[in-house]
Structure 1
């Protein structure tokens, strides 16, 4: 008798951040789901730094939470520090970040998944994909077991033919202490997929008891910390743990250079590209030779463990070189290693082979999510996993796919960038990648996405009601500012104290609040405002939302108008089997790119590298527009 008698709706291969979100989404949408991983003990393991969020990444976690994913909740429940980054800039740039307890993070994820109905687990390596007539039928394991499924989501992370490098030593592995996965790449290449190799790296982990923190700069969390999840399941941190910061030096750089001849990066052993925006320490001192020092962030791995993550010291140099150089860093003079840093090379599949749903173009029912698509980062992986899980569930139910546009979510920007432009180096999200970042703020992700998710059966009705209450109360508060007048004798002392021109006659509070010098703390000094907040029992989320809507209303409205123009181009669909070869007046490069990527809309076609505005004009003419 076979271990698996029934056919699953969705099989998710890999239980990292992408796989965990994919499995949760599919199961919560009522699909019979199987999550297969090589190690049930390492579900949602934080392979690199023990943190979630950051610039643009924090917006993604908020979006995942607004859609009904688990990442925000798990991050809140296992946080040891919270920071809202970029608060000196406008709210479009604010980005939440938490330092996490690594062990509790993985444990909480596993327990949440085990508490999710419709979700089964199995520990083994998947070595092949079952395919018939370009339709996925399930997976084959290393023991030769065939498990049937209507859809399959691959979230293999760095495990596909993974190869770990430490100096001149190299060995197979998906991450330290875990074996690589073999067979899937070969199966997919046989049916016509294009694959490539990428590289990432990680720093040493050290014993915090051996560090001298008095020689470092303390990095505490926010005085009034917020949280990731919009739900009321989690609460802000009452107690936080500090990180610390120190620096490399010319002495450290010289010691590192001594090992360059044994570095796999410089002696040709590593041929693939690593993340440009998260370079190794040897890459930094080589590329930025004029810099006398680089920052090192000393990040605790949890509340009770002594393990510390040395952020900024990612390296694949020989372990003796790592150790010698790190002992020359201030505060690390007596450091003890728990693990050496290393680099890892792994297979990925250029994401131009995918649809916006993350379903592959070649094989119906097969989805890719996470580092298999050439991305880097927990948040980017989790977002893709969530979207792949949603769309696999919708496909099984013969429902319309769920696709987020660039003006609707950072997740929409991420996926559109991947499938339209592709990537030859690990892709990381930045706020600069989003044209409409004033609309895509971390504070309004629930307004943007919770109604959409509720409509497809993922975000709960309770989530929707909570969002609607927040929206209603913030809109009423904004109306209060528009309707309420303030007298000169009330306003002028505050205005003059902030260097703003005094009022000559009474005016609406909305106009006073809109002045760039005036902040929320100034407005809260007005008795009418304090009375309104107390009478309506407004919480900080509502007050913050109203503040943004008042102070940035002009910018928000302008961006909405620009987004509407994009939407008009998104509505111009390109026929599925359109023959680009017949357009001889279009450049050869544009025809080849359009044939390869097969854009769905004119808007998507205009974003393809190598397709000029003149090519788009010619295309529109041939489409009779």
Structure 2
């Protein structure tokens, strides 16, 4: 069946595996995507949504690099929201509610139309290793498929164990079996493994809900989209979500099942996501709160199935049902399926390089939940980087690594391999030191040219980015060069409660005032004429406004990033012997030996390595 050697084999077709396969294939590598069920490619196992705080920035970065997540999200969206619009642009985060079935269908169709990509449905149970190098995979049927590199994106399937109350059974997802064999083989090769836990809420029949007792949550009045390409268009119509609340009565009903809860009786021993706790965990941890928000999210345009965001649980199904029926609007609720928790194997990501290649086995890459992350966006971005680097390695080209100052994806991967994680890692804007640089609006400026140079982003995408950049820069220069007279400006300034001008000044300076908007500036002579003559679109106007308003902050952050990047340029040899540096703390030597940082900058971010240790290291290296 497989008489040829593939360049790249991707194991698993969730969000990480799908992006990995697409990236490797689009870069010209002969790629095979192996998954246990081809009907579930890019399945939204949990909530039917993409993006959100920091996660929306990641989807924009995936799109800017030439990945598919943004395009698929746009074509399957049923609602769009730009979150945090009341805050500065560094905090703006796009989010879409998705049609779950359309999302998976569009992903599969895009993959099937990707050249160089083959598919096979089977469980991979082992790896083929020769001289510390991966040379292929072995399936549960005993079929061996040869490859120059392998990417593992097994999600929650590695020895997955599902919990509902006092019941437990093997599975990687509801209705799907767990994957076995790989963990055991990796342990024999010397890898460290651990267990993590995640959960999901009940799915209910929307026809049984009373929405009049809930608070409607509509999408934006003027919806935008994820992808920078013109291939997709903003939504013309949207579906609303709804919000309700738990109550003390609901909490009491839930507590009745705590003695049968696998979280509290010791059956679940692994750690779940801190920032997406189960409803029973919220009641236990936040005992002072008498209610918690629930978001009722449609699973698609036409289905009646609803996702109850905020009610993730592993309590017995009868307890879930009784408690949910006490929530306003849920008095007659009908379940499609109860919520459950799932435990699965992961591998501490300090065992990886920045390329996501393992340190122990040459040509073997890990991406997604196998690395201890949670979330579609985090998984997709890792898959993209692993796919890129697997293809580059096969082609004997330079590796592709994003710095912390270049992308949230760079922050994510650096956090994972430098600090590791003992609980499911989720991205937040607070994790990034350079939030003002890493905005959702400028991901194409930051990343598209780099991706084009390695052969992933298309020339069409590059030209579109360059046009946007040139038009925005030209508009900024126009505002810097063009003056406005007091008679004209003061009409606007007085309306906004801003101090009047006494003499003519550049529009750029007036625009820099905190309460002056693009709409205000367009009232000044010559501005609208410039916009129309240069055919400036909304995204170019937005980009210009951000450049004007935040130019000082952006410049300061660039300078800080440049300083840190100088340390990034001081490379540490791969087999550096830290035991020889006696003046460095023992803890620092142990941490450095284990993580094996590639640069002084990475070494400085390792927990337990102090600034003094870094000074000693620099002296020892003759710097």
TM range (shorter): over 0.9
SS at match of 2:526: helix
Instruction: Provide the residue aligned with 1:129 in structure 2.
Output: 127
Instruction: Provide the residue aligned with 2:80 in structure 1.
Output: 82
Distance 1:335 1:526 in 2: 57
Distance 1:525 1:128 in 2: 67
Distance 1:248 1:494 in 2: 47
Q: Shift of residue 526 of structure 1?
A: 2.3
Runs of 4+ with >2 A deviation = 524-527
Q: Is 1:469 the equivalent of 2:467? A: yes
Distance 2:417 2:135 in 1: 24
| Residue number among 23, 44, 47 corresponding to 2:45 in the alignment | 47
Q: Shift of residue 536 of structure 1?
A: 1.2
Distance 1:526 1:481 in 2: 11
Distance 1:538 1:508 in 2: 21
Instruction: Provide the residue aligned with 2:345 in structure 1.
Output: 347
SS at match of 1:91: coil
Distance 1:567 1:207 in 2: 53
Q: Shift of residue 243 of structure 1?
A: 0.4
| Residue number among 576, 579, 593 corresponding to 2:577 in the alignment | 579
Aligned residues: 623
Instruction: Provide the residue aligned with 1:457 in structure 2.
Output: 455
- 1:53-72 correspondence to structure 2 within 5 Å: 53-72=51-70
Instruction: Provide the residue aligned with 2:382 in structure 1.
Output: 384
Instruction: Provide the residue aligned with 1:261 in structure 2.
Output: 259
Instruction: Provide the residue aligned with 1:322 in structure 2.
Output: 320
Instruction: Provide the residue aligned with 1:622 in structure 2.
Output: 620
Q: Shift of residue 532 of structure 1?
A: 1.1
Distance 2:488 2:528 in 1: 14
Instruction: Provide the residue aligned with 2:158 in structure 1.
Output: 160
Note the residue ranges of structure 1 that are not aligned, 5 or more in a row.
Answer: none
| Residue number among 215, 218, 221 corresponding to 1:217 in the alignment | 215
1:197-251 deviation line (CA, Å, top 9, x unaligned): 0000000000000000000000000011100000110000010110000000000
Distance 1:301 1:341 in 2: 15
Instruction: Provide the residue aligned with 1:493 in structure 2.
Output: 491
Q: Shift of residue 164 of structure 1?
A: 0.1
Q: Shift of residue 386 of structure 1?
A: 0.2
Distance 1:311 1:489 in 2: 53
1:143-169 deviation line (CA, Å, top 9, x unaligned): 000000000000000000000000000
Distance 1:496 1:162 in 2: 64
| Residue number among 202, 205, 214 corresponding to 1:204 in the alignment | 202
| Residue number among 435, 438, 457 corresponding to 2:436 in the alignment | 438
Distance 2:367 2:129 in 1: 19
Q: Shift of residue 339 of structure 1?
A: 0.7
1:65-114 deviation line (CA, Å, top 9, x unaligned): 00000000000000000000000000000000000000000000000000
Instruction: Provide the residue aligned with 2:609 in structure 1.
Output: 611
Distance 1:555 1:623 in 2: 34
Instruction: Provide the residue aligned with 1:17 in structure 2.
Output: 15
Instruction: Provide the residue aligned with 1:362 in structure 2.
Output: 360
SS at match of 1:273: coil
Distance 1:307 1:527 in 2: 53
- 1:96-115 correspondence to structure 2 within 5 Å: 96-115=94-113
Distance 1:482 1:164 in 2: 61
SS at match of 2:220: coil
The alignment's TM-score, normalised by the length of structure 1, stands at 0.99
Q: Is 1:271 the equivalent of 2:264? A: no
Q: Shift of residue 521 of structure 1?
A: 2.0
Q: Shift of residue 352 of structure 1?
A: 0.1
SS at match of 1:376: coil
| Residue number among 584, 588, 597 corresponding to 1:599 in the alignment | 597
Instruction: Provide the residue aligned with 1:447 in structure 2.
Output: 445
Q: Shift of residue 438 of structure 1?
A: 0.3
The alignment's TM-score, normalised by the length of structure 2, stands at 1.00
Aligned-residue CA RMSD (Å): 0.5
Q: Shift of residue 525 of structure 1?
A: 2.3
SS at match of 1:48: coil
Q: Shift of residue 523 of structure 1?
A: 1.4
Q: Shift of residue 528 of structure 1?
A: 1.7
Distance 2:226 2:123 in 1: 33
| Residue number among 145, 152, 173 corresponding to 1:147 in the alignment | 145
**Residue 484 of structure 2 contacts residue 525 of structure 2 at CA under 8 Å; is this kept in 1?**
no
1:478-523 deviation line (CA, Å, top 9, x unaligned): 0011011001111111111111100011100000000011122211
Instruction: Provide the residue aligned with 1:180 in structure 2.
Output: 178
SS at match of 2:442: helix
1:559-578 deviation line (CA, Å, top 9, x unaligned): 00000001101011111111
Distance 1:528 1:218 in 2: 42
1:442-501 deviation line (CA, Å, top 9, x unaligned): 000000000000000000000000000000000000001101100111111111111110
| Residue number among 519, 522, 530 corresponding to 2:520 in the alignment | 522
Q: Shift of residue 524 of structure 1?
A: 2.2
- 1:27-42 correspondence to structure 2 within 5 Å: 27-42=25-40
